[in-house]
Structure 1
Amino acid sequence: MAAQSKIKAGELIEPGDSDVVELAKRHLVQPWPYAGSVGNEARALIGEGDGIYITDGSGKRLIDGPAGMWCINVGHRREELAKVMYDQAMALSYNTPWYTMNAPSAELARRIADAAPGDLSHTFFTTGGSSAVETALRFMQFYNNVRGRPEKKLILSRGGAYHGSTYLSASLNGRPRDRDWMDGADELVVKLSSPDPFRRPKGMSIAAFSDFLVDQFRDTIARVGADRIGAFIGEPVQASGGVVVPPDGYLKRIREICRDNDILYVSDEVVTGFGRLGHVFASGDVFGIDPDMITFAKGVTSGYFPLGGVIISERLLEELRRSNHPDALFGHGLTYTSHPIGCAVALANLDLLEEGVLAHTREIAPYFQARLKTLEELPLVGEVRGLGLMACVECVADRESKDPLQLDKDVGKRIDAHCHELGLLVRPLINMCVMSPPLIITKEQVDDMVAILREGISRTMDDLRKEGVWRG
């Protein structure tokens, strides 16, 4: 029988309400749970957000280091976005996308086309990043079926990648432990090496590493056959894989190889899109590439409403329209495709980005990266890397071996616990701490964030020394 609760519908829940914790442990299944605690765990309770800050269940004010999940780009408690949600809900809360449409989605599609590189001109809206990637891949399959190439369906993905949690999108993931206990469409995916310069073979220059990655890409196509490979998908910066910034020019070279072999290039900008690197889209403005499709989510509404999408090249659509199968049906859609509230919020969010947030991001990003780079002075830190307002502090047992696991696979959680006590929420990823704060962060707030992170790492080093598991 369900537990009785003191909480009523529509009632403001106080952050310190112990009843919330009990309800979660009794009835809530959290994302990415372990079997030993599934359905019986309560995570850190967050009560409020304001600007770059959140308040936890005890009332402690914390810098929101990960911006929720890479997404609170314009900050918490933006009244402009809340008002748009209310106004749109009062005007039109929903319409079926199967045989009707709404004005905000059409206008948002136009704005996105204006900002996208190359001939990317049409957007299919989804509910988030996983469904955006799923849509792009299903479109690739449909495209090749219509063009009479049913065997051209394999997908090239890379080590360290994260592309989602739905069945097909999750099959592309290349992070440690993501797939240990989970099934996937392995027969459709061909994995390549991670483009991580920090973990390149010992003695190899970054330029030689880039050549190695490109040669591996060509060799894989030659081995598997271009006639069987439908798409390559890659994040411009591998986000959840540890903010892996690829070698200069690598993505351009991969794009050219895809073009030469009639392989669709899908740029997964679920994280890097809508401001994280200082532009609406990073593919063209930062990396100089024009993909066949771009997937996006997260920052498109700054996390205020679930929305994602895939932008599709005009060339691909024109080829379908010219095909010999005009009645072929792209049998794909979602109940909340082109949701009027989500699209209205995205339009207002895009206004905020273009009216100053993007420029501020480009201005403050070098300071953000430079201040975090000072943490490499600490012996536990192997590398600090990043681009724009996303960065990773990777901890290692020693810098020579770069081994993260001899040390402690949960060292990131240890640092996070100390930082939480000091006033900063970080995102721990095994031996890494990922930072991607709201784009409105100031220099003074960057200084606060880095000072707390430095102290959190220092306290963790003291703990590890006392336990005798590390002597750095």
Structure 2
Amino acid sequence: MTLLNSNFDALRDWDNQHFVHPWEGMSDIGANERTFTEGGEGIYVTTEKGERLIDGPAGMWCVQVGYGNTEIADAMAKQAKEMAYFSPFNNTNSTPAKLGREIARRTPGDLNRVFFTTGGSTAVDTALRFVQFRNNVLGRPEKKMVISRQKAYHGSTYLAASVSGKERDKGWMDQATHLTHFLPNVNPYVRSAGQSVDDFLEEKIADLENAILTLGADKVAAFIAEPILCSGGVIVPPKGYHKRCLEICHKHDVLYISDEVVTGFGRLGHWFASEEVFDIVPDIITCAKGMTSGYAPMGACIISDRLIDSVSGAHSQDAVFSNGFTYSGHPVSAAAALKNMEIIEREGILEHVRKVAPVFEARLKSLGDLPLVDDTRGQGLVGCVECVADASADNTLDVEKSIGAMIDAHCQENGLILRPIIGMCVFSPPLIISEDQIHQMFDILEDGIRKTTDDLTRQGVEIK
């Protein structure tokens, strides 16, 4: 790898001086010591030091078929040579047309209208703008409120961020608060002492219906939900939650948006999780990430025929849905997505995920016996280990913030990258991971947790 011979001290200076990263901490800007990941093969990435590490988060929940896939690279190069770009405002192209058809073949119900975007945030923004647009065309300009959940994450563009419920992301940023309403946390882990999961489920369903009734069904336009709340800590709602929520929404003429930016394209062993895993056919699905396995930026907002029909043709009032992007349906990204889908289908990757998921879930659950671990949760090939030291200490949050980073550091020394979020270790490996590699990943993670426990004990932190 030629870059291993590069001067990484200079590159790190350039990175700190010129590359403003997502979620950049202003107190640390210009002084970060980020790892350079300079190569990749299969489930592994290679750092600037030549370290070969299992990529536990699969990039950012997205590298489904693994790194170094020459088929995708070749498909992108071929498309770039033939037609690198077209204006989606004025023309069309065969590659995104084929991709739209392939996606529609795999979506539930009548979700057949694919609006291509640049990523997950713009897919969610498009969904919300379409909901607003539709109600305007239907003569219901007051029906604009969107209900979401605490801990939900839907993106970082203005509207997508406004319906995201991760509290620490909101401290210094403005949101369209007049358009949003948040329901309490749906994580069974935080239910009241002595409360059964069934009773907790009833409480969460009541949260939604009470909010619609209180706000007014004539004011509430949509409910947006992730099948699994991934960035919020891999929160798996109680069984039956999504189906019950969909029934409440349709009872009150509220649209149901399923945000499958993480769960779509195989993370739970199916093209889309909404119907196959959670038994719902939403009104709108958003997706991105695994759509191209991270080889090129792309997302999509998939809208049902029923919704499109309600504001088109004789019902259109000659309205124009004036939403779109220079790179909507970008042909090189579309070529990457088409080849990615071909590989997933040809190699039986969805079936593979369903086969190895029980091994993944069993190893995840076994970590719950470790002293530092307070909860383990996950489904398919996405999981979270939540670690808590002394929950009664005055500096609990400071300790929790350090725990995830400490575990990640120990794991990286032994060949595994995690995604630390406060005291949570989140991981979603490439879908091609084998059973042996799953065991290796969890062996490293378990060792990292044990070493962190020892570190905290030496620091005088009481382990609960």
Provide the TM-score with structure 2 as the length reference.
0.96
| Residues 259, 15 of structure 1: alpha-carbon distance in 2 compared, 3 angstrom cutoff | farther
Q: Which amino acid aligns with 1:423?
A: G
| Residues 415, 78 of structure 1: alpha-carbon distance in 2 compared, 3 angstrom cutoff | same
| Residues 327, 241 of structure 1: alpha-carbon distance in 2 compared, 3 angstrom cutoff | same
Task: Map 1:238-277; keep pairs closer than 5 Å.
Answer: 238-277=229-268
Q: Which amino acid aligns with 1:384?
A: T
Note if contact 1:15-1:59 (Cα within 8 Å) is conserved in structure 2: no
| Residues 445, 379 of structure 1: alpha-carbon distance in 2 compared, 3 angstrom cutoff | same
Match of residue 352, structure 2, among 340, 350, 360: 360
2:205 counterpart residue number: 214
Q: Which moved more, 1:317-326 or 1:451-460?
A: 317-326
Note if contact 2:4-2:49 (Cα within 8 Å) is conserved in structure 1: no
Q: Does 1:348 align with 2:348?
A: no
1:467 counterpart residue number: 459
**Where in structure 1 are there 5+ consecutive unaligned residues?**
1-10
Task: Report the alpha carbon displacement of residue 251 of structure 1 after superposing the two structures with TM.
Answer: 0.4
**Distance in 2 separating the partners of 1:369 and 1:324:** 49
Q: Does 1:302 align with 2:296?
A: no
Task: Map 1:196-235; keep pairs closer than 5 Å.
Answer: 196-235=187-226
**Distance in 2 separating the partners of 1:15 and 1:299:** 31
1:106 counterpart residue number: 97
1:420 counterpart residue number: 412
1:397 counterpart residue number: 389
Q: How many residues end up aligned between the 2 structures?
A: 461
Q: Which amino acid aligns with 1:387?
A: Q
Note if contact 1:296-1:309 (Cα within 8 Å) is conserved in structure 2: yes
Helix, strand or coil at the partner of 1:290 = coil
Task: Report the alpha carbon displacement of residue 301 of structure 1 after superposing the two structures with TM.
Answer: 0.2
1:281 counterpart residue number: 272
1:33 counterpart residue number: 24
Task: Report the alpha carbon displacement of residue 371 of structure 1 after superposing the two structures with TM.
Answer: 1.2
**Distance in 1 separating the partners of 2:458 and 2:313:** 70
Helix, strand or coil at the partner of 2:96 = helix
Task: Report the alpha carbon displacement of residue 176 of structure 1 after superposing the two structures with TM.
Answer: 3.2
Note if contact 1:16-1:57 (Cα within 8 Å) is conserved in structure 2: no
**Distance in 2 separating the partners of 1:23 and 1:276:** 35
Task: Report the alpha carbon displacement of residue 19 of structure 1 after superposing the two structures with TM.
Answer: 2.0
**Distance in 2 separating the partners of 1:137 and 1:410:** 36
**Distance in 1 separating the partners of 2:412 and 2:316:** 58
Match of residue 65, structure 1, among 56, 61, 71: 56
**Where in structure 2 are there 5+ consecutive unaligned residues?**
none
RMSD: 1.6
**Distance in 2 separating the partners of 1:208 and 1:283:** 23
2:124 counterpart residue number: 133
Note if contact 2:84-2:332 (Cα within 8 Å) is conserved in structure 1: yes
1:156 counterpart residue number: 147
2:66 counterpart residue number: 75
Q: Which amino acid aligns with 2:267?
A: R
Task: Report the alpha carbon displacement of residue 339 of structure 1 after superposing the two structures with TM.
Answer: 0.4
Note if contact 2:45-2:52 (Cα within 8 Å) is conserved in structure 1: yes
Note if contact 1:426-1:433 (Cα within 8 Å) is conserved in structure 2: yes
Amino-acid identity (%): 50
**Distance in 1 separating the partners of 2:225 and 2:21:** 27
Q: Which amino acid aligns with 2:430?
A: P
Provide the TM-score with structure 1 as the length reference.
0.95
Task: Report the alpha carbon displacement of residue 27 of structure 1 after superposing the two structures with TM.
Answer: 1.4
2:174 counterpart residue number: 183
1:86 counterpart residue number: 77
**Distance in 1 separating the partners of 2:132 and 2:27:** 38
1:449 counterpart residue number: 441
Q: Which amino acid aligns with 2:458?
A: K
